[in-house]
Amino acid sequence: MKLPNRLQKKISHNPPFVLAISFLVLISIGTLLLMLPQASADHTSAGFVDALFTATSASCVTGLIVRNTAAGWTVFGKCIIIGLIQIGGLGTMTMLMWISIFTGQRISLTGRLYIREQLNADSLTGLVRLLKFATLLTLAIEGVGALILSFHLVPLYGVKKGIAFSLFHSVSAFCNAGFDLFGDSLMTYQGDFLITLTIAALIILGGLGFVVYADLWRYRTRRRLSPHTKLVFVTTAALLIAGTVMVSVFEWNNPNTLAPLPLPEKLLASFFQSTTFRTAGFNSLDMGYITDPTAFGSCLLMFIGGSPGSTAGGLKTTTFAIVLAATWASLRGSDDTEMFHRRVGKDIVRKAYSLFVIGVALVFTVASAVVMFEAGNVKFLDALFETFSAFGTVGVTRGITMMLKNSSKLILAFTMYLGRIGPTTFAMGLFHREHKRKFRYAEGKFIVG
């Protein structure tokens, strides 16, 4: 059935709405495929809720699971999951634009608006080149990662299975998904420097953002980096260091996590958990035994997430940094928020604060709902950890995901969806207005502080 012209026009001029709907379509297709008996290892349907939760977790590159990926799905089911991860990581709009390119269709202005929304680009210029660059770079990095992993996995599992495992985990890591085929994430390989550091490197690279890579490519001729790229690098490095120190301090003497490990492996596990807490759901330590300070501190890392235009979700590194910088400027009595000798626009500061407040409100509301749905069977810190993991599309869990009721699974699935597309993108798509208000109220006097 053809949509009325007016409705078609409203939809085509609302990229956030189209982006939100495209992910819903991807999740719906994934749900239907995972509900097929051929997808489940026991050859019975996984059921609507479990299939929906898994499809959402894969499409939104999260990694939370309600059944063990290695044992619970057939090869067909695993192929569906990794396909959803790849499409979700690159972005639904990216895949649709590639279909247009392959069929010889010209990318319209509307299509370019969709790409800009997907990649968080600040200009319509060169978007198709950026799309091609992002796709080829993704495939190249995933290919190199799979090659490195195969040096260990092929001798362990044989050529066919070893290559399949290498490709699966390389895609899952770069797309910041965290799905694994080992059955216990990377706990078996917590002392394996090649596998652990390769996975960590893929996670970090996937979380930087394609706009950053384009800026690095242009550095050859321009010999300077944009303020955005500098902010991404500085914030990412600071969070990795802070997270490593946090895990080391709070887990060093924990007999169930770091205490039994030799010094090099302690440092390796601390760094790896710092990496994966922010953007991906792999773990080399048992999350069920980490201390409460580590769990609480990791919630902040998961909330921040990766960088704009990347395969990661969450608040985003630049948003968090701008909130801190704006707060510091306010404390100093400065009217301007400044970073790298550049002024941050007031509209950007307002958007950063809005994202922060909406994100915090959403997470605490969902965590409270999960505790209520579970009738006191789940501690609030565990529910908060799970919710931050869902919103940040991280995927680590303290072991409660598989025990949750369907109501909790559904609300966490929606949280993963919001974390991937962004709560403001969802709100802008839902409440889009074509015209701005033509008047302003008189300024009132309010007292704060």
* CA separation, residue 148 to residues 79, 153, 191, 202, 275 (Å): 21, 9, 17, 11, 19
Helix 127-157 to helix 159-174 angle (10° resolution) is: 140
In one-letter notation, the amino acid at residue 75 is V
The pTM of the full predicted model, rounded to 2 decimals, is 0.88
Report CA 238 to chain centroid distance, whole Å: 19
Mean pLDDT of the chain: 86
- pLDDT for 309 beyond 90: no
Label residue 193 by pLDDT band (50, 70, 90). Answer: very high
pLDDT of residue 3: 45
One-letter amino acid at 356 equals F
Q: Please, is 155 exposed, middle or buried when counting C-beta atoms within 10 Å of its C-beta (0-12, 13-18, 19+)?
A: exposed
Q: For residue 201, report the phi and psi dihedrals to the nearest 5 degrees.
A: -65, -40
- In sequence order, the 6+-apart residues with CB closer than 8 A to the CB of 372 are none
Contacting residues for 77 by C-beta, under 8 A, at least 6 apart: 34, 38, 39, 40, 41
Q: How far apart are CA 5 and CA 11, in angstroms?
A: 10
20: left (phi over 0), alpha (psi -120 to 50) or beta: alpha
What does the pLDDT read at residue 7? 45
| Dist CA 76 CA 57 (whole Å) | 17
* Contact predicate 271/200, CB 8 Å: yes
CA distance 206 to 90: 10
Least confident range from 15-29, 118-132, 244-258, 264-278: namely: 118-132
Mean pLDDT for 166-187 is 92
Q: Tell whether the torsion through CA atoms of 260, 65, 169 and 199 is positive or negative.
A: negative
Q: Where are the beta strands (DSSP E) in 203-345?
A: 337-339, 342-344
Q: Which residues are registered as beta bridge partners of 186?
A: 184
What number is the average pLDDT over the span 2-23?
Answer: 62
Tens of pLDDT along 380-402? 999 999 999 999 889 899 989 98
The tens digit of pLDDT for each residue in 52-100 reads 999 999 998 888 999 999 999 999 999 999 999 999 888 776 776 777 6
- What mean pLDDT comes out for the span 108-123? 64
Q: What's 37's DSSP letter?
A: G
Q: What is the CA radius of gyration of the chain?
A: 22
pLDDT tens readout for residues 156-175: 999 999 999 999 999 999 99
Beta bridge partners of 155: none
**CB of 347 within 8 A of CB of 400?**
no
Q: Quick check: 415 and 387 in contact, CB under 8 A?
A: yes
